[in-house]
Amino acid sequence: MKLLKISAVSYLNTFPFVYGIRESGFLQNFSLELDVPSICAEKLKNGAVDIALVPVGALHEIHEPNLISGFCIGAVREVKTVLLLSRVPVEKIRRVYLDFDSRTSVALVKVLADYHWHIDPEWVSLKPGQSDSGNNFESLVAIGDKTFELQTGFPYVYDLAETWINFSGLPFVFAVWVSREKLPDDIQIQFSQALAYGISHKRECLEYFRDTLPACTDCLSYLERNISFELDEKKMEGLLKFLTFINRDPNHYVRF
């Protein structure tokens, strides 16, 4: 059987998936690469991997994306690691620096700026690693594990998932598992079983990654409370609504 190449996100919120892929025993003959979300999408787009955890803001770049599991990185309440950080209240923001690591958070903050906060700031894209310190930024969109420490340096913290939920009444989906080509049914089943195993073994997952955990006060609570892994009907509704806001035709994704 051909080696199955997988790209997953290298953040705490994806550790259960990574643990399941590596340790469940359901999946055989694979290689796993850990990347930031934007690179996951780029690798799938360019054919460097067969499966990737793709930010929904980059789905339009994948030709005929195939959803391959009923799992995602989603939120039904505050997510804690996708934030707009600011030194001024949101209505006074004039310039926002944008984290390189995720296109979805960038698209989401622009939707919220237009339709919810009704502000029109200048948007400044950062290069890889520039958002890590948070220094000298009036306002910053930041994602991932670095936000646990970054947010302590800003008096105003806006959780983008929580804001979207209050605005739309729907959950938010940040990333979904996608294959470049349709995979055999048995591979899809094994992959889903591996993901499900990881989600059901969060404590073991945290012990497995104990040497690389971020500065999170309660990582288990974060995984159980702030990240919602099942791609259910409500999340699909939220995903399709978001796609319409960013001018993507949701009919392109009905196969999901």
Digit-by-digit pLDDT tens for the chain (256 residues) are 589 999 999 899 999 999 999 999 999 999 999 998 889 999 999 999 999 999 998 888 888 889 999 999 999 999 999 999 999 999 999 999 998 777 899 999 999 999 999 999 999 988 876 665 556 788 999 998 889 988 888 999 999 999 999 999 999 999 999 998 899 999 999 999 999 999 999 999 999 999 999 888 799 999 999 999 999 999 999 999 999 998 755 555 444 4
| Domain end marker among 168, 203, 218 | 168
CATH number at residue 61: 3.40.190.10
Quick one: 40 and 95 in the same domain? no
Quick one: 113 and 222 in the same domain? no
Quick one: 181 and 66 in the same domain? yes
Quick one: 124 and 189 in the same domain? no
Domain extent for 114? 82-168
Per-residue CA distances from 143 to 5, 190, 240 (Å): 25, 30, 22
Rama region for 18: left / alpha / beta (φ>0; ψ in -120 to 50; rest): alpha
Contact 184, 50 (CB under 8 A): no
Quick one: 136 and 202 in the same domain? no
In angstroms, rounded to a whole number, what is the distance separating the alpha carbons of residues 45 and 65?
10
End-to-end CA distance of the chain: 26
Quick one: 45 and 121 in the same domain? no
| Domain end marker among 123, 148, 168 | 168
Quick one: 147 and 216 in the same domain? no
Contact 96, 140 (CB under 8 A): yes
Q: Please report the pLDDT score of residue 131 as a whole number.
A: 62
Counting the structural domains of the chain, the total is 2
| Domain end marker among 168, 197, 216 | 168
Token look-up 């991932």 returns: 144
Quick one: 113 and 150 in the same domain? yes
